[in-house]
Amino acid sequence: MEHFTLAPGMAAEIIAHAHAGYPEEVCGIIAGRPEIAVALHRGRNVSPTPRVAYELDVKTLARQIAFEDEGLTLAAIYHSHPAGPETPSPTDVARAFYPESVHIICSLADPRRPSLRGFRIVEGQVQEVGLGGGLASSVQ
């Protein structure tokens, strides 16, 4: 299984963002290098249906230019599923426009035991990516 390593504190930051935005989905981007996250950028969900879908704001997406100038890539995109599931929805799969990026989902189906899982989505095919350094899928 492919692995992607989150920087220290990054999992907690994604979970905190998901809790802060509840009951709506939150989203953001992660700059990095192949297989490793370097910097997290919280986004704003501008979807007309934010409880069931996300759409990153243009300002956050534009940050890609700055970190690409620094030699980094759009390593991952994260969003939350406030009521679950912890896997990509059909909408997530259809809107996976960055096949080179890991798609991280934070599920709050059980808010006391949020889970983070990573996926590579290429041409409609979903493959799980292990989230690095022994990070458990359920984060305390």
Structure tokens at 66: 């700055």
Which residue numbers are catalytic?
Answer: 25
> Could you give the CA distance from residue 57 to residue 46 in angstroms, rounded to a whole number?
6
> Could you give the CA distance from residue 98 to residue 28 in angstroms, rounded to a whole number?
13
40: helix, strand or coil:
strand
Q: Residues 6 or more apart from 38 whose CB is under 8 A from it?
A: 7, 30, 31, 32, 72, 75
Kindly provide the b/e burial profile for residues 6-45, where b requires at least 16 CB atoms within 10 angstroms of the residue's own CB.
Answer: bbeebbebbbebbeebeebbbbbbbbbeeeebbebbbbbb
